[in-house]
Structure 1
Amino acid sequence: MPYNIAMISDFFYPQPGGVESHIYQLSSKLVDRGHKVVIVTHAYKGRKGVRYLTNGLKVYHIPFFIIYREATMPTVFSFFPIFRNIIIREQIEIVHGHGSLSSFCHEAILHARTMGIRTVFTDHSLFGFADAGSILTNKLLKFTLSDVDHVICVSHTCKENTVLRASLDPLMVSVIPNALVAENFRPLSYRPQMGERGLGVPPRIGPNDTITIVVISRLFYNKGTDLLIAAIPRILATHPNVRFIIGGSGPQAIDLEQMLERNVLQDKVEMLGPVRHEDVRDVMVRGHIYLHPSLTEAFGTVLVEAASCGLYVVCTRVGGIPEVLPQHMTTFAKPEEDDLVLATGKAIAALRSNRVRTDRFHDQVKMMYSWTDVARRTERVYNGIKGAISEQEFYGHYPGASWDAARGRTRSFALIDRLKRYYGCGIWAGKLFCLCVLIDYLLYVFLELWWPRANIDIARSWPKKPVPHPDAAAAKASRNTRERIRASS
């Protein structure tokens, strides 16, 4: 059943990143499956108003004040008039918000519930419980998710973190990982594999050959830039035939450059600066190892992209990273300087001994991750909250008599039921949340009277593609596979 969906987040292209890529790829695949999707984000430099992307994907760039790392200033109510106009113009049935730190996302879910629209939230991040920033973020998340229909997390670790932070029922949370377009991340000398023996020629690295380590990341503290700065001189001192390529920008880029000057390593470390997402593959295929020293990560799409390009991955064992790739593609390290240097040395030794068949990584990753599969599973969530499938099919069993319907997919839009859910968020916070909901409801009534729906023009929908039958798609995939095998033999 096709739906009209609004994807809402502060984080979208042209800014590169995992959340941005997730929203774009998921939206594109949902459009391919016959749904109408619009994306609502804030204005970026040079991008305001309405833009059309591939497949007729419409993007609303709304001019709002940015406060930190492309997140807009939270205003609670000022977004409502524009949001209501977009929802009515595009005839939206489901609002899907992304990102715990996105003000647009939180406000959109609140306004959508006030307007009687089903909502979904996707969490892409991990947060702690002790520092002031995490406490405030978790309270905001609890406010938003007290009245949401369903939550999606990108890893099982992320699910556990979100359930604890927002005091959610685990049945309300589904795990749907990120993915990649494997064709866009092929190794330089790619040949399709067939069976266990394979048709590709495994790369050979001699004892004196140069090994290139690639790092592509935002240069922030949580991405492990301090670890990287400490580890690079030690790795290069131990392994003279190693070079680094570092792509990315951030506040700690100056610290990285100062380290290179202190240790006179400019000839061994190439700094690329910001790298566009479409250029990531061209950078990765220049290397042999991908180093990811992150301190916290819910999933790590860049790890999948690196493995798909045929790179051996060295990463920290934090968050949802251990769930991303199988063990033969990775060497794990503790988020400590000594262990990261040791793990990198093990990876270099494994490549020099030719024990790792990186030529097989692309085909293996291609089988594991697909945006089409992510879209299909997300569509199932939409069917569940809209009542298109039964509770038994959606949850896998009957919740039973003890199931509280107010916590299930059938969440009531009645104001009194919503106030009950918010009131339980804390002695003082609960009262504040109820006040916000009441003001939001009164603002909605005022907008309905002051700016009637009849005065808002309905936007024309982009012509939809015919949705291919699943059997036809499977037959086409099988035919393409046979043609590739014949071409390679």
Structure 2
Amino acid sequence: MAAGGPARVSHSVCMVSDFFYPNMGGVESHVYQLSQCLIERGHKVLVVTHAYGHRKGVRYLTNGLKVYYLPLKVMYNQSTATTLFHSLPLLRDIFVRERVTVVHAHSSFSAMAHDALFHAKTMGLRTVFTDHSLFGFADVSSVLTNKLLTVSLCDTNHIICVSYTSKENTVLRAALDPRIVSVIPNAVDPTDFTPDPSKRDDGTITIVVVSRLVYRKGIDLLSGIIPELCQKYPELHFLVGGEGPKRIILEEVRERYQLHDRVRLLGALEHQDVRNVLVQGHIFLNTSLTEAFCMAIVEAASCGLQVVSTKVGGIPEVLPENLIILCEPSVKSLCDGLEKAIAQLRSGTLPSPETVHNKVKTFYTWRNVAERTEKVYDRVANEVVLPMDERLDRLMSHCGPVTGYIFALFAVLNFLFLAFLRWMTPDSLIDVAIDATGPKGAWTKQCFGGKKGGIKEELPSS
């Protein structure tokens, strides 16, 4: 704290999402890295997610980050089933036990995140939501998700989006006031994604793809690009990391065109292995059909690769024009972009990987993300939590005559259920947890000598 400056307010933050380690992905990495940097800034942070296999109960990660793996039923794609009521006893106990002041939910796809927002508002806690995805407006899935988002966010204190395109999308989908929506981009730890100085030129050109092999990631486009460019450039190889239902399409392409020695399918990758795959290539290809931010292209650029990507969603905001070749989401446009990158590589006009890395590492840092998120917490801490009558008015006026009244009824039932739980077990009888992080985290230092990562369970690097 600067001399004479205002004292920094300490927050007790509960991060809630169905998506967290040991599951791997952008949301999981975001929650973990943001939590670590907030702990570094003196806040108390805990994570609530559902159980993953045998990983249940309470676990401690690096720097005393406490994670509750709750025994809730997983319904689809690592997201829990929800009734809006069954999770209240568990979440209420955690919020009271950990003296939570801000509930920060992540991802529109996470049912637990929506549950936590709903219960936190009933308990009078401040709420923040980070949207990591882009949605359409026409298909049935998008319509239902957008309606749920409208209900969840209409009385949420503040919303964070990872790009300006994502902000515009979220504001339209949930009919929000843009003044309560902030843009805070994702980041990458540059020390985890560095070029390989020992790399030698063997005359081949390797295009790397690291992605979930699903329709949304444009794998159908990739299946058209591979045979066309492999026929044109004999020295070209493809290295594909990731798993998903579209893998069979790539296997069929490899079989049909006899490209077994030029197209390698690595399958699912652990996060700590991604860098070792990236540095084997010269060009990184992203064929996504929709993206709010796209961490993968930042990681690839940090490793010194030339990035070729579809021009969709928030991607044009992520990297400057001299570090990325943007293309339309079509086979022809992406082939043209890749040929341009190949020509630059052959002519030696691309900057060195070390030069690119040194540029990228200044663009996005988790400490900057944490500082900006902290300002959001400071803002919502000074806001008044809506009393129940105003919350019901907001739901009924904002969410439509049918949905609004249904969820207003749910809010009343949730309030009565909470009153029953408080009668059965008053807040005063719930044991207060010892703080392992934040300004009162002396317990960590006493038990472990203040060593960084003293309380730690090994996880994939992030």
TM-score of the aligned structures, taking structure 1 as reference length: 0.86
- Are residues 1:262 and 2:256 paired? yes
1:121 deviation in Å? 0.3
Match of 1:418 among 379, 388, 391: 391
1:29 deviation in Å? 0.1
Match of 2:165 among 153, 157, 160: 157
Residue 363 (structure 2) aligns with? 368
What aligned pairs does 1:73-472 form with structure 2 within 5 A after superposition? 73-189=81-197, 209-359=203-353, 360-387=355-382, 410-424=383-397, 425-462=399-436, 464=438
| Cα distance in 2 between the residues matched to 1:243 and 1:172 | 47
Amino acid across the alignment from 1:12: F
Residue 451 (structure 2) aligns with? none
Whether the 8 Å CA contact 1:41–1:61 is kept in 2: the answer is: yes
1:304-360 superposed Cα distances (whole Å, 9 cap, x missing partner): 100000000010000000000011111111111111111111111111111110431
| Cα distance in 2 between the residues matched to 1:333 and 1:231 | 13
Distance 1:376-1:107 versus aligned 2 partners, 3 A rule: same
Task: Name segments (4+ residues, structure 1) moved above 4 Å.
Answer: 463-467
Secondary structure class of the residue paired with 2:391:
helix
1:272-305 superposed Cα distances (whole Å, 9 cap, x missing partner): 1110111111110111110000000000011110
1:16 deviation in Å? 1.1
1:465 deviation in Å? 6.8
Secondary structure class of the residue paired with 1:349:
helix
1:174-220 superposed Cα distances (whole Å, 9 cap, x missing partner): 00000011011110119xxxxxxxxxxxx996xx9211111111111
1:249-273 superposed Cα distances (whole Å, 9 cap, x missing partner): 1111122212211221111011111
Please identify, of 63-72 and 33-42, the stretch whose mean Cα deviation from structure 2 is larger.
63-72
Structure 1 residue ranges without an equivalent (≥5): 191-202, 388-409, 468-489
Whether the 8 Å CA contact 1:245–1:271 is kept in 2: the answer is: yes
1:453 deviation in Å? 1.5
Amino acid across the alignment from 2:426: P
1:454 deviation in Å? 2.5
Whether the 8 Å CA contact 2:282–2:305 is kept in 1: the answer is: yes
| Cα distance in 2 between the residues matched to 1:212 and 1:456 | 58
Whether the 8 Å CA contact 1:8–1:95 is kept in 2: the answer is: yes
Aligned-residue RMSD, C-alpha: 1.5
What aligned pairs does 1:7-46 form with structure 2 within 5 A after superposition? 7-46=15-54
Residue 447 (structure 2) aligns with? none
Structure 2 residue ranges without an equivalent (≥5): 1-8, 442-462
| Cα distance in 2 between the residues matched to 1:411 and 1:458 | 25
| Cα distance in 2 between the residues matched to 1:109 and 1:355 | 51
Residue 6 (structure 1) aligns with? 14
Residue 54 (structure 1) aligns with? 62
| Cα distance in 1 between the residues matched to 2:29 and 2:37 | 12
| Cα distance in 2 between the residues matched to 1:82 and 1:47 | 17
Please identify, of 67-76 and 221-230, the stretch whose mean Cα deviation from structure 2 is larger.
67-76
| Cα distance in 1 between the residues matched to 2:343 and 2:365 | 32
TM-score of the aligned structures, taking structure 2 as reference length: 0.91
Secondary structure class of the residue paired with 1:182:
coil
- Structure number with the bigger relative contact order (C-alpha 8 A, sep ≥ 6) is 2
Amino acid across the alignment from 1:312: Q
Distance 1:158-1:302 versus aligned 2 partners, 3 A rule: same
Distance 1:358-1:436 versus aligned 2 partners, 3 A rule: farther
Distance 1:421-1:305 versus aligned 2 partners, 3 A rule: same
Whether the 8 Å CA contact 2:125–2:385 is kept in 1: the answer is: no
| Cα distance in 2 between the residues matched to 1:379 and 1:301 | 22
